[in-house]
A and B are shown apart, each in its own frame.
Chain A
Amino acid sequence: MDLRYTPKQAAFRAEVRAWMQAHVPKQRLKSYDTREGFEEHRQWERVLNSGRFGMVTWPEAMGGRGADLIEWLIFEEEYYRAGAPGRVNQNGIFLLGPTLMEYGTAAQKARFLPRMAAGDEIWAQGWSEPGAGSDMAAIRTKAIRDGDHYVINGQKTWSTRAAFADWCFGLFRTDPESTRHHGMSFILLPLDTPGITRRPIPQLDGEPGFAELFFDDVRVPVENRLGDEGQGWSIAMATAGFERGLMLRSPARFQETAKRLVQLYRRHEARVAPGVRDQVLKAWMDAEAYALNTYMTASRLIAGGKIGQEASLNKIFWSELDRSMHETALSILGARGELLASGVDEAGEITRWLKGFLFSLAGPIYAGANEIQRNIIAERLLNLPR
């Protein structure tokens, strides 16, 4: 154990810090759940890619830097420290990207990864259906083979970023006779394919962060299938692992929120009730614990260890931490915490907490509801019977 950064790691941090200082937009971008904001964020992805900072863990040939997990954590720390914009392509770079690296053919990697890194293709995900939420094995949307194409019919919902995204990946039933986890395939498709209808769904904040997708005889070439036909479930589980685990929610995000919460508390300390202090400290400790835990996992994986049930443990922890931090912030703001937009909130700080609170409510639901994660922990870690 050595809790010091190496000179190489320190130099990498300095490089990221300097680059971010020079490139992070001075003005906060509009929400990527608006058309205008979506394009602003796409532009930011292009800027990131120009510095080869789109996805530092990717191989250099794919536009990355071949960074290890510790360097990735350093990158994320500097990214959030700089207040850089959210990643509109997170479905692509954090979820599909690692999945493609593991299951994609050489041609698929060459076709999709560079454009993903460049922000030219922004990805939505297509998991859930009206009858398949937490029970994802209940998926019914069919992709029936017709020569060198699949013909897709059915409906997806809660497709994150699908209101404005270019492409979608998802799980489709390629064997119409199959049930449950069998007979599904992982398919990638452009959202402008004829036969696809998108219906954006406004979230709690009123913006269309996700959409319903209707498929009516949508023809997709067979080469857009990732992995073997019928292998979809196991690939999707790997993707879900990336989603719940290390990649989707890096610790820096919560540490920066905790830092803002401490600053907020200190500005209002004189008028808040004494018990609020303990909630602020709890937020700080939990954000720190999540970071330490992630560094430990990263160190273990770099040394050749295998990922275990960390994904489920992490997902519960960060989602509940995020919610409780925002609840604490709103309790500090008191009656002003209801301001969605106002002249008295010039820096947009109140709105930011409020919007963050609304979003934090989704955390325990998406990426596999926390009840599902608790079942996984109980059954696989504690060996309780199913």
Chain B
Amino acid sequence: MNFAFTEDQLLFRDTVRDFLAAECGPAELRAAAAGTGRSAARWQKLADMGLTGLTVAEARGGLGLGLLDYVLIAEETGRVALPEPLIDQIGIAAPVLADFAARADVAAVLSGLAAGTCKVAAGHPDDPFVADAGEADFLLLGRDGVLHLVPRDRVVLTPETSVDPLRRIAAVDWAAGNETRLSGETGILDRFRDLGALAAAAQGLGLAQAMVDLAADYARTRQQFGKPIGTFQAVKHHLATVQVAIEFARAPVYKAAATQHPRDISHARIAVVDAAAAAARTAIQVFGAMGYTYEVDLHFFMKRAWALAGVWGDRHYHLDRLSRMVLSDDAAIGADGTFQDR
């Protein structure tokens, strides 16, 4: 039993953190929001670092790492509210497609993903919109229990505007066909949703921490009554309460990445939705009126957290699913059931 990341995993995480801090700061977010929302140059740098191929097999030109390596990276992209759809690709599309890599067309898509030259957008049939469909070469979509890989030229997109100025979403009209079909294996769309839920949870951890850190920064400098507002216990306790929620959402996310068990994924998902919502609510309060403006950076993180709370199964979906597992006769409840793989 060793519930800890390796030195290598943490070192890689730190490298990516430094890279993202340099390449995707608040100024870059504002530039993206004012422009197309996406930077081809930044995408190329992500590919050059190997990040676009993080979870793609080495034989396909990727780094061949697993979801445990990826989950730390997803957390870091949340920390900077990265606009590019890196996480949808390496956390949802690549792991799903890997199961069909024996097919030449899928193998080619995976190689393209790793090289950063091919983009795959992913959208669960329960969700009304697909993110980053416009720039995608393929869309991973589901219908009637079947997973499909659909070329971009076979879909009609109706772009919509997200509250998050950096999300690019669209309703997708498409026709399923034998040539788009990947698999109708039982539960395939549940696994699809679970990978999305894990991606949202891992990013949410980073978003929540970013919001708390921004608010703490502000509380250290903003003066009222002749002193920094961070000296006031009301402010301290607000932020400490959120930090507790974040800390106790972390281990469930890491465990979910390790086991990919539906019970663990739903737990992680709910814990992060709650922690990130609390972080947003608290951070805007600490910023006061400034927090209600477009001028401070907080809103980028709040809006991403709100958007991610709804997709890939919302809180209610995951609570209902969890209840069926926890409240059933065969659920492993009790201390010695924590690490039983069920």
Contact = CB atoms under 8 A, between A and B. Distances in A.
Contacts of B2: 1-2, 299, 302-303
Given A5-B1, A293-B250, A296-B3, A371 B335 contact: no
Interface in A139-160: none
Contacts of B213: 382
Given A1-B254, A299-B4, 8 more contacts: A9-B1, A255-B334, A258-B333, A292-B254, A293-B250, A296-B3, A296-B4, A384-B235
A291 B336 CA distance: 10
B157 interface: no
A317 B252 CA distance: 15
A92 B177 CA distance: 71
A378 interface: yes
A303 B4 contact: yes
B63 interface: no
Contacts of A286: 248
Interface of B: 1-6, 68, 212-213, 216, 219-220, 227-228, 230-231, 233, 235-237, 239-241, 243-244, 247-252, 254-255, 258-259, 267, 270-271, 319, 322-323, 326-327, 333-336, 338-339
30 contacts: A1-B68, A2-B1, A3-B258, A5-B339, A77-B335, A251-B335, A255-B333, A255-B338, A265-B327, A269-B327, A281-B327, A284-B326, A285-B271, A289-B271, A292-B3, A293-B247, A295-B1, A303-B2, A313-B248, A317-B247, A373-B240, A374-B233, A374-B237, A375-B236, A382-B239, A382-B240, A383-B220, A384-B231, A384-B236, A385-B220
Interface string A366-386: 000001011101110111111
Chain B's interface: helix, strand, loop or mixed, by majority? helix
A55 interface: no
Given A284-B333, A385-B228, A277 B323 contact: yes
A281 B322 contact: yes
Contacts of B250: 293, 296
A229 interface: no
Interface in A259-316: 259, 262, 265-266, 269, 277-278, 280-281, 284-286, 288-293, 295-296, 298-300, 302-303, 313, 316
Nearest to A4: B1
Given A1-B3, A291-B335, A377-B240, A281 B326 contact: yes
A292 B338 contact: yes
Interface of A: 1-6, 9, 13, 70, 76-78, 80-81, 251-252, 255-256, 258-259, 262, 265-266, 269, 277-278, 280-281, 284-286, 288-293, 295-296, 298-300, 302-303, 313, 316-317, 371, 373-375, 377-379, 381-386
Nearest to A301: B4
A77 B336 contact: yes
A311 B314 CA distance: 32
Given A3-B259, A252-B335, A289 B243 contact: no
Chain A's interface: helix, strand, loop or mixed, by majority? helix
B332 to A, nearest CB: 10
A125 to B, nearest CB: 25
B327 A292 contact: no
A262 B216 contact: no
A7 to B, nearest CB: 11
A289 B236 contact: no
B327 A277 contact: yes
B220 to A, nearest CB: 6
Interface core residue of A265, A289, A386 (most chain B CB under 10 Å):
A289
A216 B68 CA distance: 61
A378 B1 contact: no
- Per CB-CB distance, the 4 closest pairs between chain A and chain B, nearest first, are A378-B236, A292-B251, A77-B335, A384-B230
B200 to A, nearest CB: 17
A81 B335 contact: yes
A29 B334 CA distance: 23
Contact of A285 (B233, B270, B336, B338): B270
A381 B1 contact: no
Contacts of A295: 1, 3, 251, 338-339
Contacts of A292: 3, 251-252, 254-255, 338
A289 B249 contact: yes
A374 B237 CA distance: 5
B286 to A, nearest CB: 10
Contacts of A386: 231
B262 to A, nearest CB: 14
Contact of B212 (A6, A251, A269, A382): A382
A299 B3 contact: yes
A3 B339 contact: yes
Contacts of B252: 285, 288-289, 292
Nearest to A293: B251
A379 B323 contact: no
A288 B267 contact: yes
A302 B2 CA distance: 9
B323 A259 contact: no
A363 to B, nearest CB: 14
Contacts of A3: 1, 3, 255, 258-259, 339
Contacts of A385: 220, 227-228, 230-231
Contacts of B235: 378, 384
Contacts of A258: 333
A177 B52 CA distance: 66
Nearest to A384: B230
Contacts of A313: 243-244, 247-248
Nearest to B221: A385
A300 B68 CA distance: 16
Contacts of B326: 262, 281, 284
A300 B7 CA distance: 11
B270 to A, nearest CB: 7
Given A78-B336, A284-B326, A293-B250, A317 B244 contact: yes
A374 B236 contact: yes
A382 B216 contact: yes
Interface core residue of B1, B220, B237 (most chain A CB under 10 Å):
B1
A383 B323 contact: no
Interface core residue of A265, A286, A293, A378 (most chain B CB under 10 Å):
A378
Contacts of B271: 285, 289
Contacts of A293: 247-248, 250-251
Contacts of A9: 1
A266 B243 contact: no
Contacts of B216: 382-384
Nearest to B235: A384
